[in-house]
Structure 1
Amino acid sequence: GLDVAMNAQAALVEGAYGRPIMASFHGLWSVGGLLGAAVGGLLASWRFGVNPHLMGAGALAFVLMAVATRGLLPDTGRHTESGPTFALPPRVLLPMGAIAFAVLFCEGAVADWSAVYLRDTLQSTPGVAAAGYAGFALLMAGGRLTGDWLTVQLGAMQLVRGGGALVVLGIGLIVWASVPWLAIVGFGLIGAGVSCIFPLILSAAARTPGVVPGTAIAAMATAGYSGFLVGPPLIGLAAEATSLRLALLFLGIFGLLILLFGGTVGQQNHHVSTPEGVTTLTS
C-alpha cells in the first residue's frame, strides 16, 4: 500500500544521504496531522461546508503529490525486488516486529483512551480531557523532528531503550495521578518515548541482510498496525473487567518489552549505507 511504498522510498533516500533521516519524514507526517486538525477545526468554526472542505483538501494533496513524485529516487540494487503490502515478520525481524507492535499498541491506546481516562477517572472537563492526546501528539512530533540528531548523538539502541523507559515512566505517572495535569504530563512522556522508535524500526528492518527492504517494511507495518488496531479494544476489555487505571498498565508492560528488545535495533542503524546504484546526496 501507499504507507509501505512511502517508507520504502524514505529508506532509499536515507541510504542516499548516508545518515539517519527517517525520523524527520515521520515528524513531518505528525506536523501534517496537527496542521490538518487545526485547519479543519478553523474551517468548522467558520461553518465551512464538509464537501468543499474535503474536495479542497483532496485537490491540494493531488497537486502536492504530483510535484513530490517527480523527485523520487529510482529503485536500485536490492530495492528492485518488490515486497508485499502485507507480510509476517521473518524470524530475524521478530524482535523488531514485537517492538513495532508494542509502540503502535501504545499509540492506539492513547489515541482512544486518554480523553476518557482524564474525563471519567480524573473528573476533568472536556477541554482538559482533550489535552491528554494533544500533549502526546505534540511531544511525538517534537521527538521525531529531533530524532535524527538524537540518533547520531546517542545511537539507535540507546534511543529505543530510552523511549521504552519514558513509556514506563509516563504510564507510572498516569496511573498514579490524582489530578489531570500530572496524567497529561504522563501522556506527553509516552508521546516523546514512542516518537522515534517506529521510524528507527523501519530503517533498521530495511537494512537487515538477507531480507528484501520492501518485505521488511511491510512486515514491520503489519506488526505495528496490528498493535494499533488491537490495542484500544483490549484496553477496553481490561477496563471493563477491572478499571481503566489498571488497564492502562498494559502500556507499561509494553514499555518494558521495548527496553528488553531495544538492542536488536542498534546494529542495523549503526551505519546507514548507500544502496547500490544510488548517488550519495549532500544536505
Structure 2
Amino acid sequence: MTTAVSALPRAARVATWVYFALNGFAIGLWVVHIPNIEHAAGISHSTLGLLLLVLGGAAFAGMQVAGPLADRVGQRRLVPAAGVLLGLSLFGPGLADSWWSLGLTLLVLGFANGSLDVGMNAHAVVVERAYPRPIMAAFHAMWSIGGAFAALIGAATLKAGVPTAVSMSACGVLLIVVSLATARFLIEADEPAPAEVEETDEPRAKTPAKLVWQLGALAFGLMLAEGVANDWAALHFRDVLGTSTSTAAYAYGSFAVAMTIGRFATDRVAALIGPAAIVRYGAGLAAIGLTTVIVVPWIPVALVGWALFGLGLAGGVPQLFTAAGNLDTRASGALMARVVGLGYVGLLAGPAVIGGLAHWMPLNVAFVLPVVLCVLTFIAAPVLKSGVPAEEKKVDQTLSA
C-alpha cells in the first residue's frame, strides 16, 4: 500500500524543482541574448555555429565528469556546486569581445550546464525513490517553465536597453544565491529508505551494462526528435506551408506548450500504466503527430500535428532517466551520465542531420527520419520492463492503495 512521504523528501522535491527551473532559466537567458552576444563579439554566423559545437562538447564532457563524481561525493554536494558554476558562467558571454573570449566562456557555460543536468537528474531519481508514485516528468516540466521565464525577462531587459553584460551578470548572481540557499534541502541516496532495497537479489533479464546502452539509444532517438522540433518547426511553417514569420512561431509554440503540459500530466499517467507504456505509446503518438505534419498541408491541422508530437515526446525521456538511475544505486550518477549524454548528442545532432537531408529533399520529407526513430522506440520500449522491476512495483503499490 502507499506509504507516507516525510517532510524531508517533500522539501527535497521542491528543491529539485528549483534547480531544474534554474537550469532552464540559465540556458534560456543565454539563447535570447545570442544575437547581441554575436554582434558584440564581432563574429559571423558560421563562427557562432562552431562555437555552439564547443558549448555542446563541453556540456557532454561535464556530464561524463559529473556522473561518477556524484557517486563519489554525493548529489547534495555536486548539484549546488554545479549551480554556482553555472551562475558564474553567465558573467562571461556578455563580456566577450572576440571569438576566442566567447569560446572560453562557452566552455565554462557548457561544462557547468552538463554537470548540473546530470547532477539534478540523479538527485531527482533519489527523491523519486521516497515517493510511492512517479514524479520525474514534473521536474523536466520545471525546466521548460524556467526557460519560459528567461524568455520573458530577456525580452523585457532587451526592450529596455539593459546591456547584455548587466542583465546576464545579475541573473548569474541570482542563480548563485538561489543555488546556495536551496542546497540545504537536498538529500543523499541513503537518507530516505528506497523501496528497491528488498529487490536487490531479483534476477534481471539483461545486465545493467547492456541495458544502459539500450536506454541511451532510446534517449538518443527521442531527444533527436525533440531537437528537430526545436530548430525546424517554425521553418517548416514558413518554407513548406508558406506562412509569415510571425505565424511560423506558432508551430514551435504548439509543440512547446503541449510538451510542458504533457510533462506535468505524465507522472500521474505513469503511476497507472507504468514507464514502459509511457515511452511506448508516447513514441507512437509522436510518430502520428509528425506524420500528420509531413502529409497534411493545412495550417490548423499541422498545428495539431506539432502539438501531438510534443505531447508524445513529453514523458519518454524522464522515464528513461529514471530507469538509468535505478539500474544500480551504487553507480547511479555514472549510468545516468551515459544515458543523458547520449540523449544530449541526439538533441544536438537532430537539427544538423535534418539540415543536411534538407539539401537533398523537401524539409517535410526529411522529417521521416524522426518518425522512424519514434517507431523504433515504440517497438523497443518494453526493454524498460526487463531492467527496472522497482518501478513496476511502485506502480503496483499505487494501484493497490
Q: Does the TM-score normalized on the shorter chain lie above 0.5? A: yes
Q: State the distance in 2 between where 1:209 and 1:61 align.
A: 31
Which of 310, 313, 334 is the equivalent residue of 1:215? 334
Unmatched segments (≥5 aa) in structure 2: 1-114, 195-207, 396-401
Q: Does 1:42 align with 2:156?
A: yes
The whole-number CA distance in structure 1 between the counterparts of 2:220 and 2:348 is 10
Please, what is the CA RMSD of the aligned residues? 2.1
Q: CA deviation at 1:180?
A: 2.5
- How many residue pairs align between the two structures? 264
Q: Deviations over 1:141-175 (max 9, x none)?
A: 11111111111122212111111111111111111
Answer yes or no: is the 8 Å Cα contact 1:105–1:231 preserved in 2: yes
Matched, 1:271 2:393: yes
Matching residue's letter, 1:214: G
- The structure 1 residue matched to 2:289, chosen from 170, 188, 212, is 170
The equivalent of 2:343 in structure 1 is: 224
Residue among 260, 266, 290 paired with 1:141: 260
- Once residues 193 and 156 of structure 1 are traced to their aligned partners in structure 2, the CA distance between those partners, rounded to angstroms, is 13
3-state SS, counterpart of residue 17 of structure 1: coil
Whether the aligned pair in 2 keeps the contact of 1:4 and 1:221 (CA below 8 Å) is yes
Name the SS of the counterpart of 1:146 in structure 2: helix
Per-residue displacement from partner, 1:89-148 (whole Å, max 9, x unpaired)? 931223221210011101111111111111111111111111111111111111111111
Residue of 179, 185, 191 corresponding to 2:310: 191
1:49-88 pair list within 5 angstroms = 49-76=163-190
Partner of residue 237, structure 2: 118
* Partner residue, 1:23: 137
TM-score normalised by length of structure 2: 0.62
Tell me the SS of whatever aligns to 2:281: helix
Q: Say which one has the larger Rg.
A: 2
Which residue matches 1:90? 209
User: Following TM superposition, by how much is the alpha carbon of 1:32 offset from its aligned partner in structure 2, in angstroms?
Assistant: 0.9
Are the equivalent residues in 2 in contact too, given 1:109–1:232 (CA < 8 A)?
A: yes
Q: Is the 8 A contact 1:167 1:251 kept in 2?
A: no
Amino acid of the structure 1 residue aligned with 2:318: P
**Residues in 2 aligned to 1:272 and 1:219: alpha-carbon distance in whole angstroms:** 25
Structure 1: gaps (5+ residues) = 80-88, 274-283
Q: Distance between the aligned counterparts of 1:211 and 1:223, measured in 2?
A: 21
C-alpha contact (below 8 Å) 1:104/1:227 kept by paired residues = yes
Q: 1: CA distance between counterparts of 2:328 and 2:184? A: 30
> Are the aligned partners of 1:19 and 1:271 in contact in 2 as well (CA < 8 Å)?
no
SS at match of 1:178: coil
Q: Please state how far the C-alpha of 1:179 moved relative to its aligned partner.
A: 2.5
Secondary structure, counterpart of 2:358 in structure 1: helix
* Alpha-carbon distance in 1 for matches of 2:299, 2:163: 35
CA displacement, residues 43-94 of structure 1 (integer Å, 9 cap, x when unaligned): 32333332221122112211211111111102439x9xxxxxxxxx931223
1:10 aligns with 2:124: yes
* Separation in structure 1 between the aligned mates of residue 162 and residue 316 of structure 2, nearest angstrom: 38
What's the secondary structure of 1:240's corresponding residue? coil
Amino acid at match of 2:178: L
Q: Deviations over 1:237-271 (max 9, x none)?
A: 11111111110111110110110111122451213
Question: For structure 1, which segment, 203-212 or 32-41, has the greater mean C-alpha deviation from structure 2 after superposition?
Answer: 203-212
Of the two structures, which has the highest relative contact order with CA contacts closer than 8 Å and spacing of 6 or more? 1
**Counterpart in 1 of 2:377?**
258
> Which residue does 2:274 correspond to in 1?
155
Cα contact 2:134–2:270 (8 A) shared by 1: yes
Alignment partner, residue 249 of structure 1: 368
In structure 2, the partner of 1:84 is: none
Instruction: Give the direction of change, closer, same or farther, for the CA distance of 1:272–1:11 in structure 2 (3 Å limit).
Output: farther
